[in-house]
Structure 1
Amino acid sequence: MKTYEVAVVPGDGIGKEVVPASLKVLDTIADIHGGLKFQYKEFPWSCEYYLEHGQMMPDDGLGILKNFDSIFLGAIGNPKLVPDHVSLWGLLIKIRREFEQSINIRPAKFFKGLRSPLVNPNDFDLIVVRENSEGEYSEVGGRIHKGEDEIAIQNAIFTKTGTKRAMKYAFDLAKQRRNHVTSATKSNGIVHSMPFWDEVFKETEQEYPDVQTASYHIDALAAFFVTRPQIFDIIVASNLFGDILTDIGGAIMGSIGIAPAANININGRYPSMFEPVHGSAPDIAGKGIANPIGQIWTAKMMLDHFGESELGQKLLDTVEEVTNDGIKTSDIGGNATTIEVADEICSRLKKTAAVS
């Protein structure tokens, strides 16, 4: 039997609701598979933890997490308690950086049962591969002077190693799908880093002669996500551009509440981390109406990472079946609770297993 040890960090707000619901679904997958088991260890690291301890995680938090097979994260943040830059950099981004989770993957697709705001979504199915460790989100910079003369400097850092690593991951992923990679750039306005990005992309595409490519400036690309998302397969983007594009991806699906993400360590030294794109939604926390699909889809991505892609696809197909039959939370037009959605997914997974 394969046993995967998973560190669970529900975090803040609705994370404490959608994570348990998703673990129930994962356990159902394990039960019907027979040769699969998950062992969970939950950690209370959150903004509430910060108020009590003065930090988002203990000093040895990373040392504790590094021995797990993966990290399953709910949502981090409660600006009424802790400023966002403190909560995110003290936990989420700290894990991403220290565990060398240099790739962020975020899919978006036409999802059965959801009303896309697009008049004709044309069954789009795309994945954004976001460089996750440097770029525009580097920590290099600073502020000087005060008052009207105050200056803020933020330096974007692009290394060839980090840039090419993201691009090669995108090309390898495209070979498993529809053999097409699009590069997000802005070399007509950002005169150093983006021409560098373009050069590395052209260099990388020479190593993949069977993969078709395209390159668009980010402003046009953002518009194309709305007007023609069906033309895209894999999009590779810098940290900032990838972040923006994936929120558009969630929007054209019909809700950012269903969008998943994976932070991937590709060198095997540390675990990868899986989290939904949505935030902690403190306004609905505790009401039992939070949409669990983003977290459950994130669980699907974790299954893929473990090499259980067949089970992952079965899970996503079941989620779409449930949504298409109208069993969904109020944010996407239904009246089901968080647990009712998760329970229905579990029930159908069991029925499918019994029939097969």
Structure 2
Amino acid sequence: MKTYRIATIPGDGIGKEVVPEAMRVLDALAQLDGGFQFEWDILPWGCDYYLEHGEMMPEDGLEILKKYDQIFLGAVGLPELVPDHISLWGLLIKIRRGLKQQINVRPAKLLQGLESPLKNPGNFDIVVVRENSEGEYSDSGGRMHSGSDEIAIQNAVFTRKGTERAIAYACELASKRSKKITSVTKSNGLSHSMPFWDDVFHDVVSKYDELQQSSAHIDAMAAYMIMKPAEYDVVVASNLFGDILTDIGGAIMGSIGIAPAANLNVEREYPSMFEPVHGSAPDIAGLGVANPLGQIWTGKLMLDFLGHEQLGEKLLSAIEYTLKSNIKTKDLKGSATTTEVTDALIAYLKQS
């Protein structure tokens, strides 16, 4: 039997509650399949670890992670105790960049049983492919002087290799879906980086004759995702633009609390990392009301990456079953607890 060793980082806040629930679901699916199992190693890294040790993860943390097949992350951040830039750069971004997780993938789909805040959302099913290692989130820059003379410089860094990699991944994904791809740019305002992005997009997409390709400026695209999301399929964007659009994607689904994400090392040289979008939500941590569906949907993305796409689709159907059955947590206007949602989902999987 195949065993997948998973580095499991519950992290902070509700991450410590929803990760064990997702583990239960994935273990149940593995038992139903019978051909593989998960071995979960819990790594207690995060803000509590920082408060005790002065760092978000051990100095050799990346070397530890390299031994695993994949990484399953809950949430990072306790802003009242640890500044966000420390928690983010000390764990999440350190892992993304140290393990060359160059592609971020986030779906936004109108799920059965979940009401979109949009009046006419259509049956949208979007995947945003976000360049994950450079761009506007480059660490190039600094601060100089003080007082009224203080200067802050933040440089956006785009490489042809990184840009090509993201766009090629998006093209391959679009080829397997509806054969539509949209590039997000801002070449009318950013006179160097975005014309470069546009040039690379045209170079890469020209190799895919079957694709219907288009481009949109980020400000217009933000509006389009609200006004006509069903017209889009695969959307490829830079680090910052992709970050913005995927939060919109979560919002138009009806809750950012259910949105999943994957940070992929596409060459599979190092483990990839799977995490929900919702954050640590410390205000509801410990109350038993956290929505586990974002973490569970994130588990579907991990199953897909491991080659178990059919099980992944079965899991998504189970998520929709709980929503259609009104087995929802408080954030979705329901009354179910975190555990009750998971129990219902597992019961459906065993019966279906």
Query: Which range, TM-score by smaller chain?
Result: over 0.9
Distance, in Å, in 2 between the alignment partners of 1:217 and 1:65 is 38
Q: CA RMSD in A?
A: 0.5
Distance, in Å, in 2 between the alignment partners of 1:213 and 1:206 is 9
Are residues 1:311 and 2:300 paired? Answer: no
> Counterpart of 2:158 in 1: which secondary structure?
coil
Distance, in Å, in 2 between the alignment partners of 1:81 and 1:142 is 25
Distance, in Å, in 1 between the alignment partners of 2:268 and 2:109 is 29
What is the Cα deviation at residue 74 of structure 1? 0.1
Aligned to 1:175: 175
Aligned partner of 2:228: which letter? R
Are residues 1:191 and 2:199 paired? Answer: no
**Mind listing any 5+ residue stretches in structure 2 that lack a counterpart?**
none
Aligned to 1:271: 271
What is the Cα deviation at residue 308 of structure 1? 0.2
> 1:29-69 CA deviation, whole Å, 9 max, x = no partner?
01111112000100000101101000000111111110101
Distance, in Å, in 1 between the alignment partners of 2:208 and 2:164 is 13
> Counterpart of 1:328 in 2: which secondary structure?
coil
What is the Cα deviation at residue 24 of structure 1? 0.3
Q: More displaced, 28-37 or 70-79?
A: 28-37
Aligned to 2:18: 18
What is the Cα deviation at residue 113 of structure 1? 1.4
Aligned to 1:114: 114
Aligned partner of 1:242: which letter? G
Aligned to 2:149: 149
Aligned partner of 1:350: which letter? K
Are residues 1:105 and 2:105 paired? Answer: yes
Aligned partner of 1:75: which letter? A
Aligned to 2:240: 240
Are residues 1:204 and 2:204 paired? Answer: yes
Which stretches of structure 1, 4 residues or more, deviate above 2 A after TM superposition?
none
- Give the 5 Å matches for 1:51-66: 51-66=51-66
What is the Cα deviation at residue 251 of structure 1? 0.3
What is the Cα deviation at residue 271 of structure 1? 0.1
> Counterpart of 2:5 in 1: which secondary structure?
strand
**Mind listing any 5+ residue stretches in structure 1 that lack a counterpart?**
none
- After TM superposition, the score normalised by the length of structure 2 is 0.99
Distance, in Å, in 2 between the alignment partners of 1:275 and 1:61 is 18
Aligned partner of 1:40: which letter? W
Aligned partner of 1:63: which letter? E
- After TM superposition, the score normalised by the length of structure 1 is 0.98
Aligned to 2:134: 134
Aligned partner of 1:67: which letter? K
What is the Cα deviation at residue 333 of structure 1? 1.4
Aligned partner of 2:315: which letter? L
Aligned to 1:43: 43
> Counterpart of 1:137 in 2: which secondary structure?
strand
Are residues 1:285 and 2:285 paired? Answer: yes
Are residues 1:159 and 2:159 paired? Answer: yes
> Counterpart of 1:167 in 2: which secondary structure?
helix
What is the Cα deviation at residue 118 of structure 1? 0.3
> Counterpart of 1:156 in 2: which secondary structure?
strand
Quote the sequence identity (%): 63
Equivalenced residue count is 352
Aligned partner of 1:36: which letter? F
Distance, in Å, in 1 between the alignment partners of 2:228 and 2:68 is 40
What is the Cα deviation at residue 114 of structure 1? 1.3
Distance, in Å, in 2 between the alignment partners of 1:53 and 1:158 is 35
Distance, in Å, in 2 between the alignment partners of 1:337 and 1:113 is 18
Aligned to 1:321: 321
What is the Cα deviation at residue 169 of structure 1? 0.1
Aligned to 2:339: 339
